[in-house]
Structure 1
Amino acid sequence: MKLYRFLSGPDDSSFCHKVTAALNKGWHLFGSPTYAYDKQTKSMRCGQAVVKDVEGHDYGPDTKLSDW
């Protein structure tokens, strides 16, 4: 199965750690990162799509992406 996740978070080290953790679990960066201003929190937010191929498993709507 092919999996897709969009990671997002504040523009600080916690976002970098989130992406780094995904990369260390076998996820791969997909596309360019995003960066936007959040008017509600008056702060910058980051986003990055990641993908992963998992052999021998079928995708279903109950698949918990963060487990992979």
Structure 2
Amino acid sequence: MPKIYRLLTEDDTSAFCHKVSEALSKGWELYGDPSYAFDASRGVMRCAQAVTKEIETEYHPQMKLGQQ
């Protein structure tokens, strides 16, 4: 089965946790550890988490990954 990949990013707020939780509730799986970095231009911490998901169809670049 093909697998697709997304990198979720957001400021370090509850919005990031909600974004990851929503992806998990739609069948995405965590891939690796989360990352954190300071965005000096905005003065905020940023978070990133990779997720993957097996899909029934072949991957194509026009796919809307967030809708899978």
TM-score (norm 2): 0.95
Q: Are 2:48 and 1:47 equivalent residues in the alignment?
A: yes
The residue that corresponds to 2:25 in the other structure is: 24
Alpha-carbon distance in structure 2 between the residues aligned to 1:43 and 1:52: 30
Alpha-carbon distance in structure 2 between the residues aligned to 1:18 and 1:10: 11
Query: Aligned letter for 2:10?
Result: G
TM-score (norm 1): 0.95
| CA shift for structure 1 position 51 | 0.2
| CA shift for structure 1 position 40 | 1.0
Give % identity. Answer: 51
Alpha-carbon distance in structure 2 between the residues aligned to 1:40 and 1:25: 33
Query: Aligned letter for 2:65?
Result: L
Question: After TM superposition, which residue ranges in structure 1, 4 or more long, deviate above 4 angstroms?
Answer: none
Give the superposed CA RMSD.
Answer: 0.6
Q: Counterparts of 1:1-68 in structure 2 under 5 Å?
A: 1-55=2-56, 57-68=57-68
Alpha-carbon distance in structure 1 between the residues aligned to 2:14 and 2:33: 18
1:4-37 residue CA offsets vs partner (Å, 9 max, x unmatched): 0000000000000000000000000000000000
Consecutive unaligned residues in structure 2, runs of 5 or more = none
